[in-house]
A and B are shown apart, each in its own frame.
Chain A
Amino acid sequence: MNIFKKTILTVLASLFIIGNVSAEKIKIGTEGAYPPWNSKDASGNLIGFEVELAQELCTIMKYECTIVEQDWDGMIPALVMRKFDAIMAGMSITAERQKTITFSQGYADEVASLAVMKGSSLEGMDTPEGINLSLGGSDVKKALKTLTGALAGKTVCTQTGTIHQNFLESGDVGSVNVRTYKTQDEVNLDLTSGRCDVALAAAVAFTDYADKSGKPVVLVGPTFSGGAFGNGVGVGIRQASDSAIGKRDAKILKDFNKAIDKARKQGIISKLAIKHFGFDASM
């Protein structure tokens, strides 16, 4: 038997063995346009913190996972319509989203921040380093008042359907002129072009862009958490129901929760967070 035939037989045999293991097959949806959480490399492969974390979690769960791409604005409808079984796309756990889908426990903290171009009048805003909207208190109130004054009359840009948009429209910082974009890339483009005076997103989304593009984008004001910003980023899963598919969804949720526990204990999440964000954003 020549080598060629041997190789083919080995491949076929291994396929047969893998095929025999009755692993759960799931699809995980991600945006692929929100670096460093999830993005694409030059040849179109999905990369980033969540893509690697998804692979780790699937190994722990012994699931066969396929990671698929989905535009952000159709993410939740696509999950509900069963185009995939789970969302890992930097999606924060919020009460609004929980009306439609359910979430696993959080696996990472998304720290939000405003960003401007160097030289903006908003630089050097006098606010605390970070505010937690759930805690409230005089510090938070004072910071929000400073922000209300600073953002008045400014065009604030952010991605559609995000916690950042919710916060800007919540009235916490007065009535700001919000402009929304389909992707974070477009927000970055219009921040550098000057159409946006200031933008709001995950702090790492701006620092990553500044690093890669060399554009003088700087963070200003406090970092935000709590309140409209939700309770960390989790895996989005369909709400369970009594049907067979609904029970499968419940099992997927349970398995993800267990896997996140395990990955956290083994330090996998911290390691990946430090690799992609430069600091430990795991939770």
Chain B
Amino acid sequence: MDFDLMFTSFPKLLGATVVTLKLLSVSLFFGLFLGLLFAILRLNKNILINKFAYGYSYVFRGTPLLVQIFIIYFGLGQIEYLRSTFLWVILKEPYWCAIIAFTLNTGAYTSEILRSAFQTIKPGIIEAGKSLGITNKIIFYKIQIPIAIRQSLPAYGNEIILMMKGTSLASTVTLMDLTGVAKYIISTTFKPIEVFIVAGGIYLFMTFIIHNLIKYLEKKYSFQQ
């Protein structure tokens, strides 16, 4: 064990953690909106809209994230026509390719989490709202959405942790995130065990923080107050 190497690579890996956190937070932010939108579309009674939303979540939950990121980065990059459009400004950058892939992926999972949360809301609660003369719109925003979010907190916490680990795939499209920098250090020191232990420790610590944050939120918004 080369403890010196573990010690000297720690600050470098910590610096790279910023990139990982940025990828995670930006894709979770967009993914949450995308997920909410598609969860609502899933509840729509129009069969076409419903099937479209279902198809989206089916495709993105049914294929590996690595394949998705490769298709978006290397695949789309090979289409000559695309390179002459304004889209190329975004797709040229590995950072945005990773964000797009992560957002679409987490959006699909989030839509399923929220959909099932919406469906677990007891009809009685909505009927109570209606009998008080509250409009459908207000019932949706002030009753259904808050309950759905609270219901989905545990599952969504898992999704955040999965996504945090998923960001390590950004290193496959040249991004220097935590895993990318770990691989870089290994390419010059040839000592994978030491470096990956430190990188793994940082991932574990992030999981610890996210896990406790979600636990705190669950408690705070618990129904039994």
A-B interaction: yes
Query: In angstroms, how far is the closest chain B Cβ from the Cβ of A44?
Result: 19
* Most chain B CB within a 10 A radius of its CB, from A77, A96, A186, A195: A195
Q: Spot the interface stretch: B146-154, B157-165, B181-189, B207-215.
A: B181-189
Most buried by A among B74, B83, B187, B192: B187
The total of interchain contacts (Cβ-Cβ below 8 angstroms) comes to 47
Q: B77 contacts which chain A residues (CB < 8 A)?
A: 189-190, 193-195
B162-174 vs A, Cβ < 8 Å mask (1 yes, 0 no): 0000000000101
In the bound complex, what is the Cα–Cα distance between A189 and B83 (angstroms)? Answer: 13
Supposing A182-B172, A186-B74 touch, asked if A77 and B186 sit within 8 A by C-beta, the answer is yes
CA distance A189 to B94 in the complex (A): 13
Answer whether residue B130 sits at the interface, using C-beta atoms and an 8 A cutoff: no
For B190, give its contact among A80, A165, A192, A195 (CB under 8 Å).
A80
- With A and B bound together, what is the CA distance between A165 and B183 in angstroms? 14
Task: Check A192 against B78 for contact (C-beta < 8 Å).
Answer: yes
Q: Does A179 contact B (CB under 8 A)?
A: yes
Q: Which residue of B lies closest to A192 (CB)?
A: B78
Chain A residues near B78: list those with CB within 8 A. Answer: 189, 192-193
Whether, in the assembled complex, B191 has its beta carbon less than 8 Å from a beta carbon of chain A, the answer is: yes
| Nearest Cβ on chain A to B110's Cβ, whole angstroms | 30
Closest approach, in angstroms, between the C-beta of B40 and any C-beta of chain A?
A: 36
A76 to B184, CA, bound (A): 14
Question: Does any Cβ of A come within 8 Å of B51's Cβ?
Answer: no
CA distance A102 to B183 in the complex (A): 22
Question: Which listed residue, B92, B172, B183, touches A195 by the CB 8 Å rule?
Answer: B92
Q: Indicate which residue in B83, B94, B184, B190 contacts A100 across the interface (CB closer than 8 Å).
A: B190
Q: Which residues of A lie under 8 Å from residue B184 when comparing CB positions?
A: 160, 180
Q: Is the CB of A194 within 8 A of B190?
A: no
B residues apposed to A, CB below 8 Å: 74, 77-78, 83, 88, 92, 94, 172, 174, 183-184, 186-188, 190-192
Could you name 16 residue pairs across A and B whose Cβ atoms are closer than 8 Å?
Answer: A73-B183, A77-B190, A77-B192, A96-B188, A97-B190, A101-B190, A160-B184, A161-B187, A161-B188, A179-B174, A186-B74, A190-B74, A193-B74, A193-B77, A193-B83, A195-B92
Q: Please name 4 further chain A to chain B contacts, defined as beta carbons within 8 Å, in addition to the given A73-B187, A180-B174, A195-B77, sorted by A numbering.
A: A73-B186, A76-B190, A100-B190, A101-B190
